[in-house]
Structures are given as C-alpha cells and as structure tokens.
Structure 1
Amino acid sequence: MSASPWFHSAVVYQVYPRSFADSNGDGIGDIRGILGKLDYLHRLGIDVLWLSPVYASPQDDNGYDISNYQDIDPIFGSLDELDELIAALHCRGMKLVMDLVVNHTSDEHPWFRESRSSMTSPKRDWYWWRPARENTIGGAPGAEPNNWGSAFSGPAWRYDADSGEYYLHLFSAKQPDLNWENAHVRAAVYEMMNWWLDRGVDGFRMDVINFISKDTSLPDGPMAEGMHYGNGSPSYISGPRIHEFLHEMHQQVFADRERDLLTVGEMPGVTVQDAVAFTDPARAEVDMVFQFEHVALDHKDGSKWLPGPLKLTDLKSSLGRWQEGLAERGWNSLYWGNHDQARAVSRFGDDGEYWELSAKMLAGILHLHRGTPYIYQGEELGMTNMSFATISDYRDIEVLNHHLEATTQLGHTDAQVLAAVAPLNRDNARTPVQWDTTINAGFSAGTPWIAVNPNHHRINAATQLDDPHSVFNFYRQVIELRHTDPVVSEGDFNMLMPRDEQVYAFRRSLPGTELLVLGNFSDTVQSVPPAQILGPQDTSWEGAELVLGNYPKTDGDQTAHQQVTVPAAISLHPWELKVLRRRLPSSGVR
C-alpha cells in the first residue's frame, strides 16, 4: 500500500495579515508581526501557514485586488521579510501557502492599465471587454453587455469612457476579470507561480479558481423575483475549460517539483461530483477544494443578508455527503470559518453561557472528520462575532456596497440593513487577534484599522496559553490526535444518528481500532441509546477509553485515558464532546 499524502495528517492555519499582529504601530498587521508569533503557532501544532494576500495592492478589497503579483505591499513589509518568514517557518518544520488571486487583478495592475490604454493594445484581450448593447436592463440604450450582477452589489460591468466599452468584474469594479481564454494570460500566471515556488513558497490557496473559465458567449443569467441583476454564475462556475486550465497549471507549475507542495482550490458553487474530479490525484489538478455548501445552510432564500436558523440535520446531511463522496477518490478540506465567514463559535456554537464548551466541541467535531482541517486565526481562542453599532464601523466593501444599494434602491432603513448584516458579515472575522488584556488586545500600539472586540479582556491568548483547560490547549490536543492516530487521518467515516437534531455522531475506523465521536449541539442534556451508535456486529462500547472530552474528568480518574462503561445510554451534558476509542480484532476488514 502506497504512503498517504503528507497533508492527510496536516493542519493548516490561516493568517489574515491585516488583523493578525502589528509590529510597527500603524494599526495594520504585517509580516514582522507574523514572525513574532511563529513560536505561538508552532506550540499550537500547526503544519502549514496559509497567508492571505500581502502583495502590492490599492487595498480596495483588503489585498484581493492585486497590482503587482511579485512584490509585497509596504503596509505589510518587504520581499526580504517574506523570505525571512519562509526561512523561519521551514526551520520549525512548517510550510507556507500563499493566496493566489488570478481570476482578477486590480485595475491598477500594469496588465490592465495597458489593456485599457487602447483598443489595439496587445493586452486588450487579457481582460473581458465588450461593447455596450441596447434594449436590456430597463430598455436603456448603451447598457451593460449582459445582465450579470456583481458579488459586491450592482452590475458586473464597468463602462470605460475612453474606449467606449465595458469590462467585466465579478467582484469590485476595481477588480477586472482576467481572460483565461488568452494563452498569454495563462503563461504569465504560471511564470509568476513558478517564481514564488522557486523562492521557497510551498503551494497556493487559489481564490475563486473555478471562476476562471467562462462561457465565451457571456449569455444573460436568470433573474430572480425582485432582483435588479441576473445570476451569471451558470456561465462561470466550473466553466467549460476549467479542468483543462487546472491540469495545464499543474503541468506547467507543479508536476516536476520534487518537494511536497499543497494546492487548494477555493470553489464557490462546486458540487461533490465536481470536487471528486478536481481532487482525483490521477487527474493532476488540485489537492483539495474549499466548498461552501455547509456555510450557506443558514442563508434564507440563498442570501447571507437573510440569515436563518441552522438545522443540525442539514449540517450533518451536507458534511456527511461530502465525506461519503470523497471517500474513495479525492480529499476533503475541513473548516468552520475563514476571512469571509462569521466567527465559528457565534455561528455554530453558543457564544454566551456555553462559549468555552461549544468552542471546544466544534474543534473536536470538525477535526475528527476525514480531510485536512483549517483553523482561522483566533478560532483556537474561541474568538466571537463583533457588534458594530453603525455603518461607519464597518470596513468590508461587501457590507458597504450592500448598505448603499439597500438604503438607496431597495427602500430598506439603516436599522434594517444593520440588523440583517450583523450575524454573517465578513468583518466579524476581521477584528484583530486578541493577544492579551492590554489596550487594543496587544494587536497594535497604534489605532487598529478596525475596532478590537471589547471581550478581549476575557478572551485572549495570554490567559489561555498556560491554562491546561483552555480552548487553545484543547485545540492542541485535537491537533496532536490527528498527528499521532492514523484512524483520524486515514480511517473510514460513518455518520450516525443522521436525523437527530441535537447530537452529531460519527465513527472513524481502521482495522484494529475505532473512534466514536459524539457532540451535543444543544444546551440540554442528551441521552444517546446504544442502538444509535452500534453497528450490526457490535455488542457494546463497554470498556472503551475516553481519549478526548471537553468536560472535566471524573474525580477519581488519574489515568491519561479514562475507561468508560456504556451499559445503557451515553449521557451528554450541554455542548459536550466525547471521543471514545475501542480496540477491534486486527483481522477486521476495512
């Protein structure tokens, strides 16, 4: 049997540099700040650091609008400092994955400046330019080339008066989309990627990479009732040439590299079947994908601005389907949050009375699935959502654009919009990491670019590092379990109790050993009958060892792993996690 890929037992930590640690007091996190926290990440047990964009950028979308792919923005530091970061990570046995944003550039990138300079520019076709058309939205002459809407509100087209044409931008108007149909564009991107790998970078997280292939006819999208713009996603989500482009990228950039690298494709709208194709090693495209199905379950009518309650059965159905779909080919990525999502404990747990217990429970449930787990900065401390009082407190372009459109075009009041955006807005995850109880949570000696959560006096790294019962040290235990127990990294996955609305339960198994993972997603005691957790050949879990739990051990327990007896039902306290291990005959068939 061939050895499994290294990333099966690895854990990735995402750093959003703007909010991680500020070394120079300008209120913005930087590379030097990250360097000062590497021992913290090493202590946590991290294998890979994923660094959100630090490239040169006008910062219209906090660095996801790149004006130079091969330089560092001065607000974050310099290329020399990035080289220092790479070396410092490698000395600690850790890897660096950079964010790759190549669906679009900044409108200040030299490529786009040249593209818009003339209709005959050699780079004109590097972006999606189209003439105006008549009799479309509202029947106005000279309207956009199609009816697509932008992810950041408004139309997906911006008119350029000098050339009399529109350019496509699926996100901000300052983020024009690259035309991947042009082979010169692809060659330039591959050259840039190779430049970074030669510099020592260990791979890429590829931003909305399944958007790069578009239906070249750019047809109108379907219009939902009450919407001003059409949904263009059927024409660009996993478009007609996406597999060709990703395989070509693999061949041109990764195929001949001898060291272990990591490629992660962020792919909104991807299906399980798509993901199997993208991550099948035989196809040589990407190692894993980020999918968004489970973080859209609390979107009413598909809108994050219409948040609704999350049903645990829906969450189990979604994650279970992905576990099953990628069981034989391909690989899962596992995450609760990132820079685009609300804080995990506020969204999936209880950030009030059961804050600490639910933060730990969520860690255990996620990390013990089959796949590579991702920790978003501060998640290991149990950081929570932020309360923003006014629209002026927000910094996220998505929120600001939505607020403007909703209050000026859709007839919503300021109060209505603020209430709608509060639970799931991206700035929830972008408040500074809470290092200690001092001013600005130890993030910066200056004025932070976005407000610090006032609860940093209670939730911070300084109070948790040496507390063996803290959220931080619970994450350390969960990570260590993945590193040391093959059943976590390689075992089969079997969802249990799929119709239960309070208890999340599953088994992980390899010949000779089995883990039972139970998590109570409620604030009441739950009882799990043996019939719900026993397989057809099982007799009991009596004598199994408790290898992980988020409640204190019983008074008399002095052993590393508590032996538990399960003669009847297993009782779970509010937001309790129990992970049991039992040994099986080694001759068992996987």
Structure 2
Amino acid sequence: MTKWWQKAVVYQVYPRSFQDSNGDGIGDLPGIIQRLPYIKKLGVDVIWLNPIYKTSNVDGGYDISDYQAINPDFGTMTDFKKLLAQAHQMGLKIMLDLVVNHSSSEHPWFIESRQSKDNPHRDFYIWRDPVNGHEPNNWGSFFSGPAWTYDTKTQQYYLHLFAKEQPDLNWANPQVRQAVFKMMNWWAKQGIDGFRMDVISLLSKPDGLPDGPQAPNAPYGDGGSLVANGKHEHEYLREMNQQVLSKYDWITVGETAGVTIDQAAKYANLDGNELNMVFQFEHMGLDNNRDPRLGKWSDQKATLTALRANLTKWQQKLANRAWNSLYWNNHDQPRVVSRFGNDSPQYRVLSAKMLATMLHCMQGTPYIYQGEELGMTNTHFATLDDVVDVEARNAYHELVDQEKIISGQKLLRYFDAKSRDNARTPMQWNDQKNAGFSSGKPWLQLNANYQQINAAAALADPNSIFYFYQQLIKLRHNLAVITDGDFQLVKDNDQDPAVFAYTRRNSDQQLLVICNFTDQTLERDYSLVPEAKLILQNYQGKMTTSLRPYEARVYLTD
C-alpha cells in the first residue's frame, strides 16, 4: 500500500536565508508565514525547516542549546505555532530538523557534564583521558582539525566529530536516549509532521574508539568511516521508532553519510521499523578532489557516466526493499544548475529544467531546496572575508595558512564551486533592494545576479523554471507509474557520455525520460510505440528529431 509520503514532494526552507520580516537581515518564522502562499502555489506537500531551535550559531543552527525553545533570531514559539497552524490550513505539512548526534557546548547538559567527572550528566557526552599527553585517538573533525578538545577543568578530552562547540552525545547511555525520545514526543504534541534527522548514522561509536585509517600526508585519521553505521545504530533507531516514530503518521528521513545500499535498506526498510527514507551522498562525492588532502574541495565536474551509474544503482538495488530520497542540492551542497548543469545565461533555464526532469521522474520522494525552482546559481567569493561558513573558513586556515597545500586564490575558486555558502545566499524574491529578502543588511551577501534571477520574474513568465517544477509535481501526484513503476535504463544507454535515458514501467503505463546533459545537438534513436504521447518538454514550439542542447522529454504510453 502506497504511503502518503511516497507521492509527496518536499520543499526545504533554510530559515536564516528565506525571508526577513523585521529588517535585521536574518530570515525568520514570520517571514516564512508571509511566503506560505508562494510555497503552496508551487504545489509541494511538505516544508522541511532547517533547525529553528535556540542555538550558539556556530554551525548554522546545527549546534542546539535548547531543543524546546525557538532561536530568538527567528522569532518565538508563538510564531512557530502560527506557522504550523497556517501551513496546516493550507494543506502543507511541517518537518523539523532533528540534531541529536551532538548538541551545543552551551546546552545545559554539556555545561553540567564538564563540571566534574562525577556529575550526573558527565556520561551524556564522550570523555576520555589523554593518551601519551595527546588526543585519545587520531580522529579528525569533519570541520578540520582534531575531533577532540581538551578541557582543563577535568583534564580530559571530549569528542566532537564537527566543531569543538558541537560535542557528541553518548548514545550508549540509556539516559541520553530517553531524554531525546521525551523531547521528540514533546514536539509531536505540538503538532509537527515529522523529522529530518541530521547525521543520524553517526550515533553508535565503535568500542574502544580505535585510530582511524590515515591517508599519506593526511594530518588526521578518518574516524568518520569507523563511526558511520556503527554496530548499535539500528538498535538505537528501532528503539526510537518504538518509543516515538511508530506513534505518528509522519515523514522521516535520515542523513546517512557513508551508507551502502544494504545499510540503507535497513534504515529505510519497507517494514517501517526505523525510518521512511535516507539521504545518501554517493552522487554528491563524484566531483571531489582526487587529492585526499583536499577532500571535497575541487572545481572539477562529475561525468554523466559516473552520475548515471550511481543513481541507477540506487534506483534498482533499493527497489522493493526501501525508499529513495531524491535531491540535487540542499543547505550543505552547491547549487545544482552550477554543479551539474550550465549556469550561463544561454543555458541556465534549459539545463535547470532538464535536471529537474531527470530527478523527479525517478522513484523516491523529491526534495526541492529553496531557490532551486528559480534556477538560483552559485555565487562568487572574492576574498575570505566573503566566506561565512565554518567548514570553508576552517579549511582555508588548515589548507592554506597551516599546511600550505594550496594557494588561497585557488581554494577560493573551489569555494565558488563547493562552499555551503552557495546554498545559503538569501532567497531572491525580486529585483528590488536586497532582492526583497530584507530591508536591512542581509547576514550573508546576496548573489549579484538577483536582478535577473528572482521569484517575481519567474512568476511573471509562464515558461519559467518555477512553472516547470509545478508541472513535474503535478505529474508525480497524478501518475502512479512515477511512484510504483520499475526503473530501467534504455538499452545501451549505460555508456552514453551525453544522454541519460530511462523508463519507468508498471502494469498500466510506461514513461520514457530522455535528458541531454550537453550544450550540443545530438542524434539519438529511441524506439517509441505509436501511442507514446509527449507529456513534458523543456523547449517551446515544434519538436525536432534531434536532441537540442540540454533538452528533456518525457513520453507516456498507456
């Protein structure tokens, strides 16, 4: 039986950058309320809100200092309840971001934990003695530097896989789990419709916390590979499901770095005893740097051959086992049209529509990141002063200032391609002051192209990317084959360097989806039965026998 979230489309809102209502340069909850009609017009079903909780603001809200209070920058609990009520009145659901691998170092639990070794909250976090006067193991933080910080008061180190202000919670402690489940049930009583779960695959740490594998010349070991999908991970999530998730008709998705197909099938199994679906990141790593010291920092492009092979694997090997989430970008990833398409004035609109077509016709629940439906692009960082993201700034200090592996100019060019700030530039509503985002100075500089790329222009243009996304969402709602059809590549397409062509088929219908990933006109012969009907295309006017640059077509056979 099809679940409601399998036919749904999710719209992700990064509150800080969506809409400012009071002129302080920071997006807020009243601003989101103001824009609910826009989101409803797009046709989506669910709004995913990035963290709105009280925070220390070290990592964009992913360092939570109070799980049951609203970040004052965003408003009040009264504002949230108003947002929830108005969204529900419009038929929109609200999914919150749950961050429980770690908290803020300013959370009362951690403040208590660091008071003494025998404090009742000491074991809410992971503390270890020094080893030979140094960190307990060689693990590096995902945000550069060591994953351990020394606390002089108790003369021990605490673990933080991310920033030092984000200490990891100790999920091996049953009291931690019960405290988290109690908090989640409290949010359920407020009326929310689900959780997106941040780095949820990192909860179970390996016994003994051994050293991680260390690449030649790398300053730290890879602790993440040891932590991801640990041996107690599914035990913890099944307990969460029993005590919280199974009680509600929610949408749940887990961010699962390093997950394999078989592991994803456990997290998102169709029996429903853990989560509905997961975010996997394999296709997000196809354009990483070949130099392991630089990790994700690169400006190279992924090949279509690699991209198609990866997405096809997830479509076919999860079929009838678990459910896919479908996404191109989010608050941590650069803009899709700049990354996988062509953001030049000539091809931006065409390639954005092509990429949307390719993804939304696959099996899974699609996620649209704010501005994606406008074809917003990556921005430009002239100097380090333009960069706000803690991950990028830490990388600059480590790779340029300390290790001297790369020049500052070259790393800034890589930031143009991969920095998280690309996704976080303010939403471009119109061509007026500050793109209509705020009457004050925005917290992060706007993309300079907002006068050409904005929501007002898109809504005034019947051929805009916005209305194309609207069509795709309607197709998903109305065509069962997009939800339940099997996925197959067109014969011999697996090695085509330029075109991605696949079918979706159930007992009643077949879709043929054809996407040209290049700026070239191509000749391809895909045999179509006479009854095949063209139901979607990204070019206007008469069809041609050739595939034009970045052309996308969808055919339906009943």
Work out whether residues 277 and 283 of structure 1, in 8 Å CA contact, stay in contact via their aligned partners in 2: no
Q: Which letter maps to 1:470?
A: S
Q: Out of 318, 339, 352, which is 2:331 matched to?
A: 339
Of 234, 238, 242, which aligns to 1:247?
A: 238
- Bigger mean CA deviation after superposition, 153-162 or 299-308: 299-308
Q: 1: CA distance between counterparts of 2:415 and 2:207?
A: 34
CA displacement at 1:491 relative to structure 2: 1.2
After superposition, the C-alpha distances for 1:176-231 in whole angstroms (9 at most, x for unaligned) are 00000000000000000000011001110000000001113100011101111000
Contact 1:276–1:325 (CA<8 Å) still a contact in 2?
no
SS at match of 2:343: coil
Could you tell me which amino acid in structure 1 is paired with residue 515 of structure 2?
G
Q: Distance in 1 between matches of 2:500 and 2:342?
A: 15
In structure 1, the residue matched to 2:3 is: 5
Shift of 1:467: 1.6
Partner letter of residue 547 of structure 1? I
1:48 paired residue number = 46
Q: 1:296 aligns with which of 282, 285, 305?
A: 285
Could you tell me which residue of structure 2 aligns to residue 473 of structure 1?
467
C-alpha contact (below 8 Å) 1:431/1:453 kept by paired residues:
yes
Written as runs of structure 1 = structure 2, the 5 A alignment for 1:529-548 is: 529-530=525-526, 534=527, 540-548=528-536
| Aligned positions of 1:175-574 closer than 5 A | 175-257=166-248, 260-282=249-271, 284-301=273-290, 303-352=295-344, 353-411=346-404, 412-496=406-490, 497-530=493-526, 534=527, 540-554=528-542, 570-574=545-549
1:545, distance to aligned residue in structure 2 (A): 1.1
Q: Is the 8 A contact 1:153 1:398 kept in 2?
A: yes
8 Å contact 1:434–1:460 — kept in the other structure?
yes
Structure 2 contact 298–417 (Cα < 8 Å) conserved: no
Q: TM-score, normalised by structure 2?
A: 0.97
Q: Measure, in 2, the Cα distance between the counterparts of 1:254 and 1:417.
A: 43
Structure 1 residue matching 2:180: 3-state secondary structure: helix
Indicate the residue corresponding to 2:97 in structure 1.
99
Quote the offset at 1:424 in angstroms: 0.6
The residue identity in structure 2 corresponding to 1:550 is: N
Residues 8 and 490 of structure 1 are in contact (CA less than 8 Å); yes or no, is this contact kept in structure 2? no
Alignment: residue pair count:
551
Matched letter for residue 280 of structure 1: N
Distance (Å, rounded) in 1 between the aligned partners of 2:469 and 2:412:
33
Distance 2:510 2:407 in 1: 54
Q: What displacement does 1:245 show?
A: 0.4
Q: Determine the C-alpha separation between the residues in 2 that align with 1:543 and 1:328.
A: 29
The CA deviation at 1:234 is: 2.9
- Structure 2: distance between partners of 1:308 and 1:148: 28
CA distance, structure 2, for counterparts of residue 478 and residue 62 of structure 1: 31
Cα distance in 2 for residues equivalent to 1:186 and 1:403? 36
Residue type matched to 2:458 in 1? Q
> Secondary structure at the residue paired with 1:300?
coil
Distance 1:512 1:90 in 2: 34
Displacement of 1:570: 4.7
Deviation at 1:277, TM superposition (A): 1.3
Separation in structure 2 between the aligned mates of residue 236 and residue 213 of structure 1, nearest angstrom: 6
- What is the TM-score with the length of structure 1 in the denominator? 0.92
Question: Deviations 1:496-534 (Å, cap 9, x if unpaired)?
Answer: 21110100111011212111000000001112223xxx5
Q: In the alignment, is the contact (CA less than 8 A) between 2:301 and 2:340 conserved in 1? A: no
CA distance in 2 between counterparts of 1:356 and 1:524 reads 16
SS in 1 for 2:247: coil
Q: 2:327 is matched by which residue type in structure 1?
A: Y
Query: Is there any run of 5+ residues in structure 2 with no aligned partner, and where?
Result: none
2: distance between equivalents of 1:313 and 1:415?
A: 31
Q: State the 1:283 CA deviation.
A: 5.4
- In the alignment, the residues of structure 2 paired with residue 582 and residue 574 of structure 1 have an alpha-carbon distance, to the nearest angstrom, of 25
For 1:465 and 1:521, locate their aligned partners in 2 and report how far apart those are by CA, in whole Å: 26
Residue 61 of structure 2 is matched in structure 1 by 63
Q: The residue matched to 1:255 in structure 2 has which SS?
A: helix
Matches of 1:58 and 1:26, distance apart in 2: 18
Q: Supply the distance in 1 between the matched residues of 2:505 and 2:271 (Cα, whole angstroms).
A: 25
d(CA) in 2 for partners of 1:124 and 1:500? 56
Could you tell me whether the CA contact under 8 Å between 1:294 and 1:315 is conserved in 2?
Answer: yes
CA distance in 1, matches of 2:160, 2:289: 26
Alpha-carbon RMSD across the aligned residues, in angstroms, is 1.1
Letter in 1 for 2:92: M
Deviation digits for residues 310-348 of structure 1 (CA, Å, limit 9, x no counterpart) = 110100100000001111111000000000000000001
Structure 2 distance, partners of 1:545, 1:380, is: 25
Q: For 1:364 and 1:175, how far apart are their aligned partners in 2? A: 38
- The AA in structure 2 aligned to 1:463 is A
In structure 1, how many angstroms separate the alpha carbons of the residues matched to 2:49 and 2:272? 27
SS at match of 2:212: coil
Write the distance in 1 (CA, Å) between the matches of 2:408 and 2:247: 55
Return the index of the structure with the highest Cα Rg: 1
